Amino acid sequence: MRLLSISMRSGVQPIVETGGSRPRLLITFLLMLLIALPAMGQGGSARAADLFWDKAEPAYLPDTLRMSWAEARAQVIVAQMDDEELLSQILMLGYPGSKAPAELLEWIARRGLGGIKVFGRNAEDSVALAKATAEFQGAALGQELSIPLFVATDQEGGWIRHVKGKSSESPGNMAIGATASTKDAYLTGFYLGRELRALGISMNFAPVLDLATVPESSIIGPRAFSDDPALAARLGIAWARGSMAAGVIPTVKHFPGHGATALDSHGILPKIEIDKSTFLRRELYPFEQAVRAGIPAVMSGHLAFPSISGEEPASLSRGMIEGLLRERLGFKGLVITDDLYMEGALDGAGILETCLKAIRAGNDMLLLSSAPAEDGALWKGLLTALRNDERLRKTVEVAVRRILTLKLAYLRGIDRESLIPDPAEVERLLPDAEGQVFFADLARRSASIIGRQAELPFAPQGLVLIAAPFGEFIALGKERYPTARGFTFSFRPEHEAKPEELEAFKKALSGCAGAIVCVANRAGMQFATLAHERGVDVAIVSVLSPIHAAHSPWSKAAIAVYHYAPACLEAGLDVLAGSLKPSGRVPLADHLIR
């Protein structure tokens, strides 16, 4: 088995080979014996041996055997867990507000928990977030088995940034695709990860390995590195390695690929009608490469591929999880579902039924955006099923062994206190100073011309109107075009501009020689088109998917910057003003953007 190994003590380690299966089984058996003997000597108090944190790991254990050691120890710990502890370990739960709820802390202290999910609603205040994660992790470490939590979030960079507050804004994945640089991908994962670790977050649901197959999608769009499977794989693996170097476990998503649909699995089950050949060479390729590189975790997506696995979502399909991901690709790590309260998973069913399907499909952890009641119907239903279905129980035990193996290999570190953040340090550590410099530089290097050419600098002979859904764009534009006037329009609706705003824009164009339009979606592009139809010279700064500004040969210049972070807006305007030469390349197939 190939393993991308990481120790919290020494940072990133090389990809190594653990050898053939027979020697590895013997090694695992010997390690299990080494681990189990001290516990057996404790008699009835074996649980007091603190098997997660004691120092039984030999100091001389080479990296090639570290995962075997973790697997062996995980098996011994699982044998000591009761039903409630086993079931709790496969759950990752969300919570409301900015504080750690007392009921959830009680749940953790009573029976442990697999993980906590941090959503945007929890993360506006960075200091409050650090206090909450410290409380959650402290409760877990105070529980009898002292098994730490995975504390996870979605910090992809760019458009998707659940942890806001004092964290950095980065240009995002498609900007990395525009530079095609593995170094840029690695450092993005590293700097975002370093900020997360300062907040007590140890797992990131990133990088995205979905492709920009439908680049106008408002679901994936610039969250993808590219529509090219090879480029997406190369950059995604580098991003993941950077995250691991910062001490944060990466989780590639959304297996087996969300890029070929514009539908949102939060509200519907998307059905992707492609044949098996296309699926294997396109959607599956980045995930296959990530598995080969030793990625530790994968998120399963709520997407149906009728020609591949029928009408059910991949996240609930045993053929997709056990058959394709485990058996065909050989993935040995952790599989976690996307939120099971999403309609793409529920599809009219109840949450208990959906959770049981997810377990039986082969997922190791169930993500629930809202924590169920500590002893409510969902918990009781799952616990009853665990106790009455021996096959289900064995499936859960296997899942918990994988969870504990990952926790032992990646979270054990020097001591348990290293997992608890210091809220007093947040002001000093966030935003990451080195990361700020890097992200600003990446924003400038990734700026790209859309189409074949651009007339730069953009310098109309007369009054310029700067139009955008973001006030900051207008303010920054006026710094470069001091005599310009501004016009603000709505970011939403995304597909059709408001008629009254188009009419007001038409009037604002009166007397203007040029217009600079910030385009974030199809509605924004309607303002640029209207300016052209009124005989005004038009320049476009595209801030999300560049596809909306493609096929506009009438524009004097169309520049892609891939995100509306201030550094990206500045880069786009500097290109128009002539103070920055664009060096990025739009990472989409030529026929899509020419």
Query: Dihedral of the CA atoms 20, 25, 31, 32 (nearest 10)?
Result: 160
Q: What's the burial of 397, exposed, middle or buried (CB within 10 Å: 0-12/13-18/19+)? A: middle
Catalytic residue among 338, 339, 364, 574: 338
Cβ atoms of 317 and 358 closer than 8 Å = no
Active site residue 338: yes
The CB-based long-range contact list for 489-497 (8 Å cut-off, 24+ gap) reads 489/524, 489/527, 490/523, 491/520, 491/521, 491/524, 492/523, 493/523, 494/218, 494/521, 494/522, 494/523, 495/521, 495/522, 495/523, 496/522, 496/523, 496/526, 497/523, 497/524, 497/526, 497/527
Cβ atoms of 215 and 227 closer than 8 Å = yes
| Three-state DSSP state, 96 | coil
Which of 481, 527, 477 is CA-nearest to residue 506? 527
Helix axes 471-480, 566-577, angle to 10 degrees: 30
What is the C-alpha to C-alpha distance for residues 335 and 366, in angstroms, rounded to an integer? 9
Amino acid at 505: F
Cβ atoms of 224 and 173 closer than 8 Å = yes
Catalytic residue among 63, 264, 266, 551: 266
Q: How far is CA 247 from the centre of its chain?
A: 15
What is the C-alpha to C-alpha distance for residues 459 and 478, in angstroms, rounded to an integer? 13
* Start-to-end Cα distance in the chain: 44
Task: Locate 155 and state its tokens.
Answer: 């910090």
What is the C-alpha to C-alpha distance for residues 306 and 311, in angstroms, rounded to an integer? 5
Pairing of strands 155-157, 160-161: antiparallel
CB-CB neighbours of 496 under 10 Å: 11
Active site residue 266: yes
Helix axes 433-446, 566-577, angle to 10 degrees: 40
The residues annotated with a catalytic role in the active site are 266, 338
